[in-house]
Structure formats: structure tokens, C-alpha cells
């Protein structure tokens, strides 16, 4: 498949109205919206290691297995009694580090035709404690970190 045409300004996607959901029990596919707490999402990994090796006559390139993805979601820390993302996720992490946990997000929102990125066989590998400074006016934040072997891209229907 070749890239054809040119991008126009109306094609650009803003991350201003995304859906970000976590699944604390992946076997049941019960995703819970967390975008009202989330401030950012970053994805790293998924790259393929390459080794270069040369003999006296020919250069050789060896390709390794794809590395896992690491997904970090930064969230506002709250102490609300009923809906407390920090407490729920932190309790899960402390009780069972590496617990199966999946995440999915729609950068442009959950509408027909928009892309959906969904982890598979994800694991909750970290949940930081809230932190801040005495001189700051920024909200208190924490991060949830997930790792997964693959991320599927689908289109909302």
C-alpha cells in the first residue's frame, strides 16, 4: 500500500477529546472511562532490535523480536470517596504487581470511523504515588504504567 495524496488541515487530529479506558478484568472486557482524570498518555516500545555484523565479504543484518509496548497514563490524583481511580489502581498494583490489565484509547473520541488502539495481554507494571512541591500550584498527579506485547488498531463502528 502506498501513501498517496496530501494532508490538509482538516485531516489533523487533536488529542483534546479522547476516550481513555482501562480494563481491570480483561477476561470480562469491562472497560472503564478514565479520561476525566487523565492528563496525558504516552506509548513507547514496539520497536525491533537490529544487529549489524560484517564478514570480510558481506555485511549482514539480523532482526530480533519486537519489544513490548509500554503505555504510561498520567492522571490527576483525587481522594473522592466513590470514584477514585488512584485508589482502585494502586490497590490492584499492590495486591498483584503485573496484574492483567488492558487499556484502549480513541485519540479523536469514540465515534464511528475513528481509530481505536487496544492493548492485548496487558499488565499493570507500576502505579506511582502522588507527589508535588510546597511551592507549586499544579495539581497532584500520579501515573499508571502498562506493558503489553501488542496493540491492535481498529476502526469504531
10 located within any domain:
no
CA distance 122 to 106: 17
Burial of 103 (0-12, 13-18, 19+ CB in 10 A): buried
CATH number for the domain including 135?
Answer: 2.30.110
Q: Which tens digits make up the pLDDT trace of 94-111?
A: 999 999 999 999 998 888
Structural domain for 129, as ranges: 15-155
What's the number of domains the chain is made of? 1
34 located within any domain:
yes
What pLDDT is stored for residue 48 in this prediction? 95
96 located within any domain:
yes
Q: What is the pLDDT along the chain (157 residues), one digit of tens a residue?
A: 687 888 888 788 888 788 999 998 887 788 999 999 999 999 999 999 999 989 999 999 999 999 999 999 999 999 887 778 999 999 999 999 999 999 999 998 888 889 999 999 999 999 999 988 888 788 899 999 999 999 999 998 7
Tally of helices (H runs) and strands (E runs) in the chain: 1, 11
CA quadruple 84, 32, 100, 68: dihedral positive or negative? negative
106 located within any domain:
yes
61 located within any domain:
yes
130 located within any domain:
yes
Amino acid at each position: 500500500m502506498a501513501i498517496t495524496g496530501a494532508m490538509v488541515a482538516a485531516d489533523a487530529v487533536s488529542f483534546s477529546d479522547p476516550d481513555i479506558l482501562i480494563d481491570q478484568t480483561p477476561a470480562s472486557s469491562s472497560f472503564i472511562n478514565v479520561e476525566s482524570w487523565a492528563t496525558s498518555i504516552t506509548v513507547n516500545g514496539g520497536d525491533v532490535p537490529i544487529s549489524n555484523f560484517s564478514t570480510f565479504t558481506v555485511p549482514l543484518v539480523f532482526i530480533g523480536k519486537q519489544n513490548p509496548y509500554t503505555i504510561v497514563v498520567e492522571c490527576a490524583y483525587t481522594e473522592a470517596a466513590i470514584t477514585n481511580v488512584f485508589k482502585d489502581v494502586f490497590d490492584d498494583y499492590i495486591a498483584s504487581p503485573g496484574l492483567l490489565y488492558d487499556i484502549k484509547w480513541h485519540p479523536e473520541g469514540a465515534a464511528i470511523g475513528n481509530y481505536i488502539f487496544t492493548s492485548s495481554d496487558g499488565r499493570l507494571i507500576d502505579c506511582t504515588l502522588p507527589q508535588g512541591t510546597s511551592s507549586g500550584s499544579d495539581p497532584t498527579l500520579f501515573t499508571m504504567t502498562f506493558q503489553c506485547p501488542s496493540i491492535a488498531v481498529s476502526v469504531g463502528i
